[in-house]
Chains A and B, each alone.
Chain A
Amino acid sequence: MEKFRDLDSDRKQLKILLSRSFFIFTIIFLIYLIFSYQIVKLMVLDNINYVSQSDENRTITVPIYPARGLIYDSQENIITENVVSHDLVFSGSNLDELETDLIEIEELIGNSASLWSLEWFTDKEQSINFKEAILYKGLDQTQIAKFQLEKSRWSSVKIKPSLKRLVLDENLYSHVIGYLGPVSREEVISSYDFKYPLNYFSGKKGLEKEYESILRGGLGYKSVEIDAYGNEIKEISRKPPQRPENLYLSINKRLQLIARKELDGRKGAVIGIEPSTGLVKVLVSSPDFNPNLFNGTSTSGEITKILKDKDSPLFNRVISGNYPPASTLKPFIGLLALENGIIDWDYVIDDKGVFQIEGEGRRYRGWKEGGHGEVDLKKAIAVSSDVFFYQLATNLTIDKLSDFLEKFGFGLVSGIDLDNESRANLPTRNWKLGTLGEAWFVGDTVNLGIGQGFITITPMQLALATSIIANKGYAYKPRLVERINELHTTKEILYEVEIQDKSNWNKLEDAMEAVTNSWYGTAYNLSLTGEIKIVGKTGTAQIKSLTEEDLSVREEYEGIRESVSDRDHALFVGYGPIKNPKLVMVVIVENGESGSTVAAPIAQKIIDEYLKEDL
């Protein structure tokens, strides 16, 4: 019957099914064996490798950057601090996307912030290394609000707080403090111990640069767990950053304020050093700049304006400016003449206003027409007789002059903790031959006698040389930092000048006292207005030569001086009080015309102020 199943066929089919199932099972079992081997290899044999690989995956070590060390003045007034700045940060890898983002964002928040770090991006090779970069630094409240409203438009751009450097008194300390700038590629590469990120700021000038390694502090680290997108999930461990040390300067804010006010925007330099320590109490170079413009929050236009200013506000005239010392060099030349026995304090010449080398037709004029009459060394310094010193220099010869002046630090760098210190120029025979290809003429020596000609000095050099007179034979190395946290910096002798007759120091001081305190002294005005008796020496550095050739054109000379840049530089060096000097001052006012009426009162005011209280 149909209903009965064909048992024979059925058994045959079952047999086929079973054998073929067995075949498939065999294949699957073989695969399963391979799988078992693989799973045991992964989970047992190679387990350690995979555990470390998964740990590597999920943890990264992130450096923690400390807040930069602070800077205080001598009265512990805060000079620089760190304030929170809101930055617009790009974190992502798609640089093409960034370009369009930037245009849109600039449209949204306006053009007021700088875009300095874009150049990092355009250099693709550099941009590989970094996770994020600041696009705009220091957004203001309006910009933050505008961005927050539309932030969803740019997925890889966000606002992130950071610290920015702020100099509270802006221009007041500009050449002392200097400024910060974005780290250079070289710094990033060579900062093994600190590991600057590419958008970090480091000291670029001034103390910020010189004390960079102290101010930046030491790097801390934290180990964080991240997810696959690099987001921090939690912190695993932390080594806090080393707190940076603060700088306590010897610079006094009140003296800075006076110096800056007195210079009143004129080009010039003011330096005041405590001779007994070498501590710099006041250092002003004018024109100055606002260091805050360099902390990344200002537009590139503002910075370009500073960089292109023909008065070079970034230039530190105190240590880098080269000026003829003019008459301020005379005490040193007088001292050398005494030392060589060419003259003594009783030696007198008749100053008729004109000097002539025997056998030469050329005549050298003194600054006062008709001369000062009979002058000895003391009076020659007090009235600043040019003829007297023409005579001395001629007799001394250039070799002795430059050897002696070098002992006072002329032509040398002091090694103060600021960058770009200049040596200025202390001329020698060889220097002239090597530089100008000319032999040294006696006329060159004559000019040197009144601090003109080839010789140039920096105000810093002049201050140190004057310190030697104030200290009667030595000067300390100038310092701006009095202590780093509680650790005081130490004074060290920089120059020592041995002379045969030590009493000559005091006699020289008497002569310089006569400058300010005798009725015939060039800076007699100071004794009338000043509170403290100081000694000093004026100088008027002639930009236009006063040699014989110009004599005939006196009127024209007056005409030239109408152009400010051709006017003489006013110089004054001095210190006070006379017994136990507290402050050595050098003041130079470019194109200030008169050392006695322009430069000297500034020095007097600062010394007066300094001694008002025991600063």
Chain B
Amino acid sequence: MSRRPLDYQLNSALNRSKTKIITDPILITSVFVILVFGLICLYSASGQDVSMVTKQGIYIALGIFLMLLISLIKERYYRPFLINLFWIGLLLLIWVLFFPAQGYNTDRWIDLGFFGFQPSELVRLTLPLAVAYHLTRRDRKPDMLDWATVLFFILLSTFLVFKQPDLGTSIIVFMAGFLPVFLAGFPLSIIIAGIFSLGALSPLIWYNLSDYMKGRIFTFIDPNSDPLGAGWNIAQSKTAIGSGGIFGKGYLNGTQSQLDFLPESHSDFIFSVIAEEFGLVGVSLLFLLYAIIIYRIFKISFNANTQFSRVCSASLGFIFLIYLVINVCMVSGIFPVVGVPLPLISQGGTSIVVHLMAFGFVLSLKRVETW
């Protein structure tokens, strides 16, 4: 047995890491399991609508392709273009505001022929990437101009999404933009000052909320105030979750979802279907899978060598986590219904593709984690 020099071992490990096609098999496997489970649940939640499941499957295939493609690209090749990607997203946001696609009830969509596409979803991916790039492009702390620039574009993007109107996604977009800012060391004093001024401005914000947003918030405060209107959703969702019990009613046997008592069961409220049919056991297993994904993302982030990689992957990890938390808290009656899908499972092509692209970026960042 010959002992090889240390630098040889280091180099070969580095080479393996750089040449491996799949940089994090555990992350990818967990994502895969959730996607398959999601399709199975969607079949049940959609009332056994094969065409909806097929369409979702096509999006997933596209998303996986994009994820693997991005994961193969070395970070240094795309880093300079992240800003441009953001510009494209921003332009599309402005586009939908002025030229909304026909056939959708909110101005969120761009019609690409056979499928619709939400630019707001793209922005909530490219915004944190661009912000992370802008703040870490120099090997030193960002200056005030940097902070001001990124904050301006974060607020602009948030405002454009809010105007669609899409409260849920605008919150996500704001968080997605602000997370890298926060993680990159934005001065805490300004944050505290900001929170206070936001408190002072809250009446103004309330005044600018549209009726549907106000309605949702009212319903959240008192779900019984409108039991057949907006409160109906949350009451039915809680009934679905609660009646699931520990082991659930069994696949395709959830009466709340199968008999259409649960509205939006295939999209925002799909978690309730899972809870109803698979019970607390199923929900716990699903959470375990999500936990693995989040653990892997932050493992990559905290082990990364560059500030860009760290901020980027941590931001994307937090956004994923926030999606999850908002959705499950929303359907279980803790948060108001703001229209945030359950990541990787809810019906909705753009959302899944963008989540998978985000994983692609994280996986690609792992290629450089060992310096």
Interface residues of A (CB under 8 A from B): 5-6, 9-10, 13-14, 16-18, 20-21, 24, 28, 31-32, 34-35, 38-40, 42-44, 46-47, 49-51, 53-55, 57-58, 225-229, 233
B274-295 interface bits toward A, Cβ cutoff 8 Å, 1 = contact, 0 = none:
0100011001000000000000
| Chain B residue with the shortest CB-CB distance to A42 | B242
B-chain residues with CB within 8 Å of residue A42 when the two chains form the complex: 238, 241-242, 332
Q: Contact: A228 with B334, CB < 8 Å?
A: no
Q: Contact: B239 with A17, CB < 8 Å?
A: no
A-chain residues with CB within 8 Å of residue B140 when the two chains form the complex: 6, 9
Q: Contact: A17 with B314, CB < 8 Å?
A: yes
Given contacts A31-B329, A43-B280, contact A226 B243 (CB under 8 A): no
> Separation in Å of the B210 CB from the closest CB of chain A?
26
> Separation in Å of the B182 CB from the closest CB of chain A?
6
State which size class the interface on B falls in.
35 or more
Docked Cα-Cα span, A341 to B124, in Å, equals 120
> Separation in Å of the A224 CB from the closest CB of chain B?
11
A-chain residues with CB within 8 Å of residue B185 when the two chains form the complex: 13, 16-17, 20
Docked Cα-Cα span, A14 to B303, in Å, equals 10
Stretch among B145-153, B163-171, B254-262 lining the A interface = B254-262
Given contacts A44-B245, A50-B242, A54-B240, contact A228 B307 (CB under 8 A): no
Q: Contact: A51 with B261, CB < 8 Å?
A: no
B-chain residues with CB within 8 Å of residue A228 when the two chains form the complex: 259-261
Contacts A39-B328, A43-B279, A53-B243 supplied; 11 other A-B pairs, CB < 8 Å:
A13-B307, A14-B307, A17-B307, A42-B238, A42-B242, A43-B242, A43-B246, A46-B242, A50-B242, A54-B256, A226-B259
B-chain residues with CB within 8 Å of residue A54 when the two chains form the complex: 239-240, 242-243, 255-256, 261
Given contacts A13-B184, A13-B185, A58-B259, contact A28 B325 (CB under 8 A): yes
- CB contact list, B72-128 vs A, under 8 A: none
Docked Cα-Cα span, A9 to B184, in Å, equals 12
| Chain B residue with the shortest CB-CB distance to A2 | B139
Given contacts A38-B333, A228-B260, contact A21 B241 (CB under 8 A): no
- CB contact list, B314-371 vs A, under 8 A: 314, 318, 321-322, 325, 328-329, 332-334
Q: Contact: B245 with A47, CB < 8 Å?
A: yes
B-chain residues with CB within 8 Å of residue A34 when the two chains form the complex: 329, 334
- CB contact list, B237-253 vs A, under 8 A: 238-246
Q: Which of A31, A43, A225 contacts B325 (CB 8 A)?
A: A31
- Looking at chain A's contact residues, is the secondary structure mostly helix, strand, loop, or mixed? helix
- CB contact list, B159-204 vs A, under 8 A: 179, 182-185
Q: Does B39 contact A (CB under 8 A)?
A: no
Interface residues of B (CB under 8 A from A): 139-141, 179, 182-185, 236, 238-246, 255-256, 259-261, 275, 279-280, 283, 298, 301-302, 307, 310-311, 314, 318, 321-322, 325, 328-329, 332-334
Q: Contact: B255 with A20, CB < 8 Å?
A: no
Most buried by B among A16, A35, A42: A42
| Chain A residue with the shortest CB-CB distance to B332 | A38
Q: Contact: B259 with A225, CB < 8 Å?
A: yes
Q: Contact: A35 with B329, CB < 8 Å?
A: yes
Docked Cα-Cα span, A34 to B329, in Å, equals 9
Given contacts A43-B275, A50-B242, contact A229 B260 (CB under 8 A): yes
A-chain residues with CB within 8 Å of residue B184 when the two chains form the complex: 13, 16-17
Q: Contact: A6 with B246, CB < 8 Å?
A: no
Q: Contact: A225 with B238, CB < 8 Å?
A: no
Q: Contact: A49 with B242, CB < 8 Å?
A: yes
Q: Contact: A57 with B280, CB < 8 Å?
A: no
Docked Cα-Cα span, A42 to B310, in Å, equals 38
Can you name 30 A-B pairs with beta carbons within 8 Å?
Answer: A10-B139, A13-B185, A13-B310, A16-B184, A17-B307, A18-B302, A21-B318, A24-B179, A28-B322, A28-B325, A34-B329, A39-B283, A39-B332, A40-B280, A43-B246, A43-B275, A43-B283, A46-B242, A47-B243, A47-B246, A49-B242, A50-B238, A50-B241, A50-B242, A51-B242, A54-B239, A55-B255, A58-B255, A227-B260, A227-B261
> Separation in Å of the B336 CB from the closest CB of chain A?
14
A-chain residues with CB within 8 Å of residue B256 when the two chains form the complex: 54, 57-58
- Looking at chain B's contact residues, is the secondary structure mostly helix, strand, loop, or mixed? helix
Q: Contact: B307 with A10, CB < 8 Å?
A: yes
B-chain residues with CB within 8 Å of residue A20 when the two chains form the complex: 182-183, 185
A-chain residues with CB within 8 Å of residue B279 when the two chains form the complex: 43
> Separation in Å of the B176 CB from the closest CB of chain A?
13
Docked Cα-Cα span, A227 to B310, in Å, equals 50
Q: Contact: B325 with A35, CB < 8 Å?
A: yes
Docked Cα-Cα span, A35 to B290, in Å, equals 15
> Separation in Å of the A284 CB from the closest CB of chain B?
57
Docked Cα-Cα span, A181 to B62, in Å, equals 66
B-chain residues with CB within 8 Å of residue A46 when the two chains form the complex: 242
Q: Contact: A9 with B141, CB < 8 Å?
A: yes
Q: Which of A31, A38, A47, A225 contacts B255 (CB 8 A)?
A: A225
Most buried by A among B242, B246, B298, B318: B242
Docked Cα-Cα span, A53 to B235, in Å, equals 10
> Separation in Å of the B285 CB from the closest CB of chain A?
13
| Chain A residue with the shortest CB-CB distance to B326 | A31
B-chain residues with CB within 8 Å of residue A49 when the two chains form the complex: 242
Given contacts A6-B140, A43-B245, A43-B280, contact A50 B239 (CB under 8 A): yes
| Chain A residue with the shortest CB-CB distance to B284 | A39
Q: Which 5 A-B pairs have the closest CB atoms?
A: A50-B242, A54-B243, A42-B242, A227-B259, A228-B260
Most buried by B among A5, A21, A40, A233: A21
Q: Contact: B325 with A32, CB < 8 Å?
A: yes
B-chain residues with CB within 8 Å of residue A35 when the two chains form the complex: 325, 328-329, 332, 334
Q: Which of A5, A32, A43, A55 contacts B241 (CB 8 A)?
A: A43
Q: Which of B245, B260, B261, B314 contacts A21 (CB 8 A)?
A: B314
Given contacts A38-B332, A57-B256, contact A6 B139 (CB under 8 A): yes
A-chain residues with CB within 8 Å of residue B241 when the two chains form the complex: 39, 42-43, 50
Q: Contact: B261 with A53, CB < 8 Å?
A: no
Given contacts A13-B307, A38-B332, contact A50 B280 (CB under 8 A): no
B-chain residues with CB within 8 Å of residue A55 when the two chains form the complex: 255
Q: Which of A24, A28, A50, A227 contacts B243 (CB 8 A)?
A: A50
Docked Cα-Cα span, A5 to B307, in Å, equals 11
> Separation in Å of the B286 CB from the closest CB of chain A?
12
Most buried by A among B239, B261, B314, B333: B239
Q: Contact: A44 with B332, CB < 8 Å?
A: no
Docked Cα-Cα span, A234 to B152, in Å, equals 58
A-chain residues with CB within 8 Å of residue B318 when the two chains form the complex: 21, 24
| Chain A residue with the shortest CB-CB distance to B175 | A24
Docked Cα-Cα span, A374 to B260, in Å, equals 97
| Chain A residue with the shortest CB-CB distance to B185 | A16
> Separation in Å of the B187 CB from the closest CB of chain A?
11
A-chain residues with CB within 8 Å of residue B301 when the two chains form the complex: 21
A-chain residues with CB within 8 Å of residue B302 when the two chains form the complex: 18, 21
B-chain residues with CB within 8 Å of residue A21 when the two chains form the complex: 183, 298, 301-302, 314, 318
> Separation in Å of the A29 CB from the closest CB of chain B?
10
A-chain residues with CB within 8 Å of residue B311 when the two chains form the complex: 17
> Separation in Å of the A93 CB from the closest CB of chain B?
11
A-chain residues with CB within 8 Å of residue B246 when the two chains form the complex: 43-44, 47
> Separation in Å of the A584 CB from the closest CB of chain B?
66
B-chain residues with CB within 8 Å of residue A38 when the two chains form the complex: 332-334
A-chain residues with CB within 8 Å of residue B314 when the two chains form the complex: 17, 21
> Separation in Å of the B100 CB from the closest CB of chain A?
29
| Chain A residue with the shortest CB-CB distance to B180 | A17
| Chain A residue with the shortest CB-CB distance to B186 | A20
Docked Cα-Cα span, A58 to B239, in Å, equals 12
Q: Contact: A17 with B183, CB < 8 Å?
A: yes
Most buried by A among B183, B185, B243: B243
B-chain residues with CB within 8 Å of residue A28 when the two chains form the complex: 321-322, 325
Given contacts A17-B183, A20-B182, A35-B334, contact A51 B245 (CB under 8 A): yes
> Separation in Å of the B49 CB from the closest CB of chain A?
15
| Chain B residue with the shortest CB-CB distance to A39 | B332
